[in-house]
């Protein structure tokens, strides 16, 4: 059984006039059924407006379904009494690093979650140390967030979530406002949390390169799940991805073009090294037969 | 601007830095009152000695403390000039229609001293206390007001969020101004009214983005299980130490001394 499950999850944004009559209805999520295994690293890939953020916000009770059910660790998100437990289980990191830090000192910000949970001070101290360590931000413990770079701020936000000791982290496009260096540092931090601490990661992204790092990719389109498979499988269907307005990473584009050009490359090539090897093998075969 | 607000705190670990913020808040309040009780050389000497002693113990460079006076320089000069020329009494110097009186000179100097002492004393508190500790001290010190339905925790939370967002909003303002200027906006010419009108294209985007930020921050706070002040703990809980108790006693003696001087007008 997965740590996060949804069954026939639907969400509609409904605009009402003053009398409560429905003016406009836009269906953001339609019949979403997913189950996320504990300890896995799952990417939710989709372009703007595909419903991926709306989905993420359902997964820790920041939004409630119009229809259907979401369970986090067996608890129904629509049960108000379960809210705190759900948010402790599934933490959320947002897109804009500036708009999710509360305090003026890094350690105070990391302490914010545990303080809300009513954890006694010596334990908070320990949690701050551990989570800053895990996010690689120990050196900045007493700095002000306003003096940090975007990537560093985002890692403070991750540490702030870790301090609540969640089993699952939902990341809503955590790198989309960062420079390449910041992206790298945040992605590395995410991957090590998954690998070394066994935290379930749900990475919401519009970047196929980031999605490739996951072990499972769920592609969203117009509120539906369009694809749900391993990255190798998802990215070996370029025609389908193109219809969903998702660009293949460069290496795969090149492999795809080579295949179209008549080179019998095997399917599922993801990295530059793999492509080079496969191409070299083909060329040397050809050289051998001539 | 950025450094003015954030750089206010002078990091250190002196006795004054380590004092409980509640002691410092009440101490500052008592000090401000005593400055207004100065009515003679003896009370002046006591208050000044107290200010010098606390400054020395705090290890804050005197230069930094005097810097706080720069902000009110204009007020200081104006106050001095007004009392110098507008006080009636024994004439010392005559300059056309204006004359400086003996009483004017003494009351001018007196006002100058009083204002400077006030500002230096108050800045000593902000120089030795982080904004976070200060709001925490206010929250805990005024906690009794919760009984009278004053939203003490909420106000303290608002203050600390405001402090956190000041540098972000300044940065944003600069960016908006530059964006408008790059499209030909001119904020520096025209009369006062015209210039105020020109602020609209800065203020409107600022409001919109601030509301958007507030919305996102609320969501992020929700995700971190924030439910107001109830059953919340603190990373650095406030508790009075021996040092604080000693400070209370010293403050008591000091205040009593100034009050006695005030009664006898010395």
Q: What are the helix (H) ranges across chain B?
A: 2-6, 15-18, 21-35, 41-58, 62-70, 73-86, 102-128, 131-141, 152-182, 192-197, 200-223, 242-263
Q: Clarify whether residues A271 and A289 are in a common domain.
A: yes
Average pLDDT, chain A: 89
Q: Is the Cβ pair A115, B163 closer than 8 Å?
A: no
How many domains in chain B?
2
Q: Are residues A157 and A254 in the same domain?
A: no
- Please indicate, yes or no, whether residues A290 and A233 belong to a single structural domain of this protein: no
**Which residues in chain A are closer than 8 Å to B236, comparing Cβ atoms?**
121
Let me know whether B158 and B88 are in one domain.
no
Residues A156, A284: one domain? no
Question: Do B117 and B216 fall within a single domain?
Answer: no
* C-alpha torsion sign, points A160, A164, A168, A170: negative
Model confidence over A236-256: pLDDT tens digits?
A: 888 888 888 888 888 888 888
Enumerate residues 179 to 198 of chain A having a beta carbon within 8 A of any beta carbon in chain B.
none
| Residue pairs spanning A and B at CB distance below 8 A | 94
Of B6, B219, B233, the CB nearest to A118: B233
Contact list in A for residue B219 (CB cut-off 8 A) is 57, 62, 94
pTM: 0.80
Residues B244, B210 share a domain: no
CB contact under 8 A, A102 and B160: yes
Pair (A187, A177) in one structural domain: yes
Which residue blocks in B224-241 are alpha helix, DSSP H? Answer: none
**pLDDT score for A116:** 93
Q: Are residues B125 and B33 located together in one domain of the fold?
A: yes
Residues A60, A142 within the same domain: yes
A98 contact residues in B (CB cutoff 8 A): 168, 213
Would you list the DSSP string of A11-29?
Answer: EEEEEE-TT--EEEEEEEE
Cβ separation A87–B213 shorter than 8 A: no
Clarify whether residues B203 and B73 are in a common domain: no
A169: closest CA of chain B, how far (Å):
11
Q: Are A82 and A75 in contact, with CB atoms under 8 Å apart?
A: yes
Is B111 inside any structural domain?
A: yes
Q: pLDDT tens, A53-62?
A: 999 999 989 9
Smallest CA–CA separation between A99 and chain B, in Å? Answer: 5
Same domain, A238 and A256: no
Separation of alpha carbons A19 and A16, rounded Å:
8
**Chain A residue at shortest CA distance from B224:** A113
Contact B220 A108 (CB under 8 A): no
Q: Nearest to residue A35, comparing CAs of A62, A11, A53, A9? A: A9
Same structural domain, A237 and A255:
no
Judge whether B1 lies within some domain: no
Q: Mutate which of B1, B130, B170, B233 to disrupt the A interface (most A C-beta within 10 Å)?
A: B233
């990473």: which residue's tokens? A249
User: Are the Cβ atoms of A87 and B224 closer than 8 angstroms?
Assistant: yes
Confidence of residue A169 (pLDDT cuts 50, 70, 90): very high
List chain A residues with CB under 8 Å of B225.
84, 87-88, 113, 116-117, 164
Residue B104 lies in a domain: yes
A122 contact B CB<8A = no
Question: CB distance A94–B237 less than 8 Å?
Answer: no
Q: Is B136 a member of any domain?
A: no
For residue B101, give its domain range: 10-129+237-263
Q: Give the per-residue pLDDT at B56.
A: 93
CB contact under 8 A, A100 and B167: no
> Is residue A241 located within the same domain as residue A258?
no
Q: Which chain A residues have a beta carbon less than 8 Å from that of B224?
A: 87, 102, 112-113, 116, 160-161, 164
Q: In chain B, which residue's Cα lies nearest the Cα of A107?
A: B235
Residues B36 and B61 in one domain: yes
| Confidence class for position A95, pLDDT limits 50, 70, 90 | very high
Please indicate, yes or no, whether residues B15 and B117 belong to a single structural domain of this protein.
Answer: yes
Using an 8 Å Cβ cutoff, are B105 and B85 in contact? no
- What is the nearest CA distance from A133 to chain B, expressed in angstroms? 18
Any domain includes B135: no
Shared domain for B211 and B257, answered yes or no, is no
In this structure, is residue B64 part of a structural domain?
yes
Q: Is the pLDDT of residue A266 over 90?
A: no
Across residues A96-107, what is the average pLDDT?
Answer: 90
Burial status of residue A215 (CB atoms within 10 A of its CB: 0-12, 13-18, 19 or more): middle
CB contact under 8 A, A104 and B231: no
- Interchain CB distance below 8 Å, B232 and A87: no
Contact criterion met (CB < 8 Å) for B233 and A98: no
Distance from the Cα of A25 to chain B's closest Cα (Å) equals 22
A163 neighbourhood in chain B, CB within 8 Å: none
Q: Mind listing the pLDDT tens digit for each residue in A204-247? A: 999 888 998 999 999 999 999 999 999 888 888 888 888 888 88
Consecutive H or E run containing A54: helix A52-58
pLDDT attached to residue A287: 63
Q: Are residues B119 and B250 in the same domain?
A: yes
Q: Touching check for A225 and chain B: CB below 8 Å?
A: no
Specify the DSSP element, H or E, that contains A233: helix A231-234
Whether B157 is covered by a domain: the verdict is yes
Identify the domain containing residue A210 by its residue range. Answer: 4-248
| Residue A219 β-bridge partners | A45, A227
CA distances from B118 to A175, B21, B27, B121 (A): 48, 18, 13, 5
The tens place of each residue's pLDDT in chain B, 266 residues long, gives 344 444 477 878 899 999 999 999 999 999 999 999 998 889 999 999 999 999 999 998 888 888 888 888 888 999 998 888 888 888 888 877 788 888 888 888 988 999 999 999 988 888 888 877 888 898 888 888 988 988 988 988 888 888 888 888 888 999 998 998 898 888 777 888 888 888 888 899 999 999 999 999 999 999 999 988 888 888 888 889 999 999 999 999 999 999 999 999 88
Residues from chain A contacting residue B211 (CB–CB below 8 Å) = none
- Same domain (yes/no): A240, A259: no
B132: chain A residues, CB-CB within 8 Å: 103-105, 108
Whether residue A198 is found in the same domain as residue A121: yes
The reply to whether B122 and B83 lie within a common domain is yes
pLDDT tens track for A173-188: 999 888 888 899 999 9
* In a shared domain, residues A200 and A272: no
The count of domains in chain A is 2
Q: CA–CA separation, A110 vs B140, rounded Å?
A: 21
Distance of residue A66 Cα from the nearest chain B Cα, in angstroms: 19
């Amino acid at each position: 059984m997965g740590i996060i499950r949804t069954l026939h999850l639907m969400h509609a944004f409904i605009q009402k006039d003053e009398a409560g009559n429905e003016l406009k209805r836009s269906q953001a999520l339609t019949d979403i059924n997913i189950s996320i295994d504990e300890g896995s690293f799952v990417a939710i890939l989709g372009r703007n407006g595909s419903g991926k953020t709306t989905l993420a916000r359902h997964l820790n009770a920041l939004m409630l379904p119009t229809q259907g059910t979401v369970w986090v660790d067996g608890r129904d998100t629509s049960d108000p009494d379960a809210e705190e437990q759900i948010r402790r289980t599934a933490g959320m990191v947002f897109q804009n690093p500036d708009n999710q830090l509360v305090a003026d000192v890094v350690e105070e910000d990391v302490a914010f979650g545990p303080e809300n949970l009513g954890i006694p001070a010596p334990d908070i101290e320990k949690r701050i140390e551990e989570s800053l360590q895990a996010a690689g931000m120990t050196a900045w413990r007493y700095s002000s967030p306003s003096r940090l770079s975007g990537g560093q701020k985002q890692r403070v936000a991750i540490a702030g979530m870790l301090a609540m000791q969640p089993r699952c982290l939902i990341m809503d496009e955590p790198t989309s406002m960062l420079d390449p260096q910041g992206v790298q540092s945040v992605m590395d931090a995410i991957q090590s949390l998954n690998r070394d601490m066994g935290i379930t990661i749900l990475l919401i992204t519009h970047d196929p390169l980031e999605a490739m790092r996951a072990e499972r990719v769920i592609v969203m389109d117009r509120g539906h799940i369009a694809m749900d498979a391993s990255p190798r499988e998802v990215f070996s269907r370029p025609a389908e991805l193109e219809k969903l307005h998702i660009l293949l990473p460069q290496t795969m584009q090149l492999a795809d073009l080579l295949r179209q050009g008549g080179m019998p490359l095997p399917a599922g090539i993801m990295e530059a090294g793999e492509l080079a090897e496969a191409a070299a093998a083909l060329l040397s075969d050809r050289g051998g037969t001539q | 601007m950025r450094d003015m607000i954030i750089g206010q705190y002078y990091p250190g670990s002196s006795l004054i830095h380590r004092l409980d913020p509640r002691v410092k808040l009440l101490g500052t309040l008592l000090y401000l009152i005593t400055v207004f009780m100065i009515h003679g050389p003896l009370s002046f000497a006591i208050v000044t000695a107290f200010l010098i002693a606390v400054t020395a113990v705090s290890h804050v460079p005197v230069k930094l403390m005097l810097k706080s006076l720069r902000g009110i320089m204009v007020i200081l000069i104006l106050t001095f000039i007004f009392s110098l020329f507008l006080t009636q009494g024994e004439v010392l110097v005559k300059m056309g229609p204006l004359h400086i009186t003996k009483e004017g000179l003494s009351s001018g100097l007196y006002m100058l001293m009083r204002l400077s002492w006030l500002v230096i004393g108050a800045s000593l508190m902000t120089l030795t206390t982080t904004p976070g500790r200060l709001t925490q001290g206010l929250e805990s010190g005024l906690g009794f007001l919760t009984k009278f339905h004053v939203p003490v925790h909420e106000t303290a939370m608002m203050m600390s969020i405001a402090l956190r967002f000041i540098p972000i909003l300044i940065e944003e303002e600069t960016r908006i101004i530059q964006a408008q200027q790059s499209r030909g906006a001119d904020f520096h010419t025209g009369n006062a009214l015209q210039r105020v009108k020109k602020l609209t294209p800065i203020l409107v985007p600022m409001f919109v983005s601030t509301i958007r930020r507030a919305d996102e921050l609320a969501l992020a706070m929700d995700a971190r299980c924030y439910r107001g002040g109830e059953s919340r703990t603190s990373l650095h809980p406030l508790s009075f130490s021996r040092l604080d108790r000693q400070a209370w006693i010293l403050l008591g003696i000091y205040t009593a001394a100034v009050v006695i001087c005030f009664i006898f007008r010395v």
